[in-house]
C-alpha cells in the first residue's frame, strides 16, 4: 500500500470529504453501494474503513464523489486533441455571460482535459445545470 495515497485519503476524510478506492486501470471503484450501506461507490469518511479499504487494494487510487454529498463540482474543460471540442472557448463564453470564475484547484485528465474543482454552489450561480453550455464544457454534476 502506498503510504502517500493512504495519508492523502485520510486527509480528505478529515476535511469532511468521502473517498473510495479506485482501480486506476479502469477508473472504477473497487466497492459498490450494494455492499456499503448504500454509499455510492462505497465512499466513506471513516478512517478505520479507509485504512481497511486501502490495505485491501494496495495499488488503488483515491476517488472523491462530486455533487451534493461532498459539496463540490468539477468543470472539465475538454481539448480539441482529446475530445474534438475546445472547452476553453465554451467556458470563456459562459464566464462572459455570467461571472468569471476565480482560480481554483486544477488537475489534468488522462485525455489532457483540464479539471477545475469548485464548490457545489457554482452550478446555481451560473445557472448551467443541464444546459447546452454545460454539455460543451462538460460540467460534471455527478
Both 58 and 76 in a single domain? no
Residue 132 has pLDDT above 70, yes or no: no
- Out of 8-22, 107-121, 123-137, give the one with best mean pLDDT: 8-22
Both 119 and 92 in a single domain? yes
Both 39 and 90 in a single domain? no
Listing DSSP states for 10-70 in one string gives: HHHHHTT--BEEEETTTTEESS-GGGTTT-GGG-B--HHHHHHHHHHSTT-EEE---BTTT
Both 127 and 77 in a single domain? yes
Show Cβ contacts of residue 43 under 8 Å, excluding neighbours closer than 6 positions: 18, 19, 20, 29, 31, 36, 63, 65, 69
Output the nine-digit C-alpha cell for 8.
Answer: 492523502
Output the pLDDT for position 52.
94
Q: How far is CA 53 from CA 10, 59, 65, in A?
A: 11, 11, 16
Q: Which domain holds residue 115?
A: 72-140
pLDDT digits over 6-56, tens only? 999 999 999 999 999 988 777 778 887 676 777 777 899 999 999 999 999
Structure confidence at residue 131 as a pLDDT band (50, 70, 90): very low
Both 56 and 33 in a single domain? yes
What is the value of pTM for the model shown? 0.69
Domains held by the chain: number: 2
- Is the separation of the CB atoms in 46 and 13 below 8 Å? yes
pLDDT digits over 46-95, tens only? 999 999 999 999 989 898 888 878 888 888 888 888 778 888 888 888 88
29 pairs with which residues across the strands?
22
Output the nine-digit C-alpha cell for 103.
Answer: 482560480
Structure confidence at residue 142 as a pLDDT band (50, 70, 90): very low
Both 135 and 93 in a single domain? yes
Both 82 and 133 in a single domain? yes
**Distance between the two ends of the chain, CA-based, in angstroms?**
28
Structure confidence at residue 125 as a pLDDT band (50, 70, 90): low
Amino acid at each position: 500500500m502506498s503510504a502517500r495515497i493512504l495519508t492523502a485519503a485520510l486527509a480528505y476524510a478529515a476535511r469532511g470529504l468521502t473517498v473510495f478506492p479506485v482501480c486506476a486501470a479502469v477508473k472504477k471503484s473497487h466497492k459498490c453501494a450494494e455492499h456499503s450501506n448504500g454509499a455510492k461507490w462505497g465512499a466513506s469518511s471513516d478512517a478505520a474503513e479507509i485504512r481497511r479499504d486501502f490495505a485491501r487494494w494496495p495499488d488503488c487510487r483515491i476517488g472523491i464523489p462530486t455533487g451534493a454529498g461532498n459539496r463540490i463540482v468539477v468543470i472539465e474543460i475538454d481539448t480539441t486533441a482529446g475530445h474534438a471540442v475546445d472547452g476553453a472557448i465554451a467556458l470563456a463564453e459562459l464566464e462572459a455571460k455570467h461571472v468569471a470564475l476565480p482560480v481554483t484547484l486544477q488537475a489534468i485528465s488522462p485525455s489532457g482535459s483540464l479539471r477545475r474543482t469548485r464548490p457545489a454552489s457554482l452550478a446555481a450561480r451560473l445557472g448551467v445545470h443541464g444546459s447546452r453550455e454545460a454539455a460543451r464544457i462538460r460540467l460534471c454534476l455527478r
